[in-house]
Structure 1
Amino acid sequence: MLSEDKYGNPLHDRPPEVTAVRIPAGDVTLSADLAIPSDPRAIVAFAHGSGSGRHSTRNRYVAETLNRYHFATLLADLLTEEEEVIDMRTRHLRFDIPMLANRLIDIAAWLQSEPRTKHLKIGWFGASTGAGAALIAAARRPENIMAVVSRGGRPDLAGDYLPEVIAPVLLIVGENDFEVLKLNKSALARLNPNGRSRLDIVPNATHLFEEPGTLEAAALLAAQWFQTHSGPLEEEV
């Protein structure tokens, strides 16, 4: 069953079924939730921020919005349960950006081999430190990557990989997230200099987009960005 948003885009009224999957990544196996609507444009894989995972209420809200806009979604824990126990004590693994990027690359490889998703282009949605890992993954393995979105992210953590990112990147930052906004402006200047990337500032929002309406605004910006860079739905061709 379909409705429309204010721009006339068809929306799914019922969420797709969520399937628990296990993804090999190096010498570990990651837990993930896969949701595929009946007619997906593409799939968006989430790169969670420090101390977060597939149960993040904010990222699940964004994923549900993307599902309505005909995008499949994958929310994966980037750390195993054992690693999470260690990280709660040391807070080291959550900031190991190269390791997290390697796991994202393994997730992309799994998506490209999994029968249910191998025909779909991939988008990365990164939050906080996960945005830096997503940008590194997009730079190192650009094949089949349609676009990247960062919400309240730390793209600066991608370092020298920033100019190597080919995919168009949308940086979404809260108006009142002053330090992160400054970091995002600097990162934007280093991203693909052909004008394919953009910074959008959400009014009244702080780092976690907890203010009324701000997370909804960020989710809609992400949906529109992926929609722009994924091409039309098959029935629209």
Structure 2
Amino acid sequence: MILEAVSLPADGSTNAGDLVVPPDARGVVLFAHGSGSSRHSPRNKAVAAALQRAGLGTLLMDLLTVQEERVDAVTAEHRFDIGLLGRRLVAAIDWLEEHPATATVPVGLFGASTGAAAALVAAAERPARVHSVVSRGGRPDLADQALPHVQAPVLLIVGGDDTEVLRLNREAAGLLRTPHRVHVVLGATHLFEEPGALEEVAEVAGEWFLRPGADGSEDAWQ
């Protein structure tokens, strides 16, 4: 098991990340947190732990530098800059291709809130490396023109009581040209704080990342 605190490139600066790679990992999932959050998000950490138990590596990273986070805490100007966040994820995908523990394994993306839009932008930019995308309570609509260019299969997980976000997800799904599905967690709100809601997110995300290939192969990540 590899547990490593890492520094990732960020437009001339660096962002902090936490890399975990279990033995014989079948892939690595890069997390993109949502508005005003960080790699310490307890919800993303819980999902990451479940994916690690399933045999996947995980990389949780801060999408903003320390200085940008200070500005964003006051102005909220960076958290909705999908172009910026998408570039940071693309740089992280490229970094994973250079790291000895993850260079040869496929990459999945797990995005929450605005991070889901950034994940879809990054998936469109790196179609050969990104094999699967999962959004949790995300804003895929903010990915806008990137949506038709995503080639990786996409799972959109939304709380059943998060009605406006659910509407936006269904509209965004209509613009995807790749295999996709909207999974509704009944009774859940935006943060999936209801009993059992986050566990359902982790379960369906793991199934999506490790689903059988469309050609009937045992592992879609191979």
| CA 1:119–1:56: 2 relative to 1, 3 Å | same
The one-letter code matched in structure 2 to 1:219 is: A
Kept in 1, the 8 Å contact 2:136–2:201? The answer is: yes
Gaps of 5+ in 1: 1-15
TM-score by length of 2: 0.94
Preserved contact between residue 212 and residue 218 of structure 2 (Cα < 8 Å)? no
Instruction: Provide closer, same or farther for how the CA distance between residues 229 and 20 of structure 1 changes in structure 2, counting only shifts above 3 A.
Output: farther
Change (3 A) 1:232 1:26: farther
User: How far is 1:174 from its partner?
Assistant: 0.4
Q: Deviations over 1:146-194 (max 9, x none)?
A: 10000000000000111111000000000000000000000111111x5
Distance 1:51 1:206 in 2: 18
Match among 96, 121, 125 for residue 140 of structure 1: 125
Q: Distance in 2 between matches of 1:43 and 1:26?
A: 23
Is contact 2:10–2:65 with CA below 8 Å preserved after alignment? no
- Matched residue, 2:69: 84
- Structure 2 distance, partners of 1:201, 1:30, is 33
In our comparison, the structure showing a higher alpha carbon Rg is 1
Runs of 4+ deviating beyond 3 Å: 229-233
Q: Give the one of 100, 117, 120 matched to 2:105.
A: 120
Q: How has the CA–CA distance of structure 1 residues 76 and 180 changed in structure 2, closer, same or farther, with 3 Å as cutoff? A: same
| Letter of the 2:138 counterpart | G
**Equivalences, count:** 217
How far is 1:217 from its partner? Answer: 0.1
1:115: how far off?
1.1
SS in 2 for 1:70: coil
For 2:27 and 2:2, the matched residues in 1 are separated by 16
Picking from 77, 102, 108, the partner of 2:87 is 102
- Normalised to the residue count of structure 1, the TM-score between the two structures is 0.88
Identity of aligned residues (%): 52
Worse overlay, 59-68 or 75-84: 75-84
Within the candidate set 46, 50, 53, 2:38 is matched to 53
Letter in 2 for 1:131: A
Letter in 1 for 2:162: D
- AA of the residue aligned to 2:191: L
* One-letter amino acid of the structure 2 residue matched with residue 62 of structure 1: V
Contact 1:26–1:106, Cα closer than 8 Å, also in 2: no
- Name the SS of the counterpart of 1:228 in structure 2: coil
Letter in 2 for 1:61: A
CA contact (8 A) 1:17 1:36 kept: yes
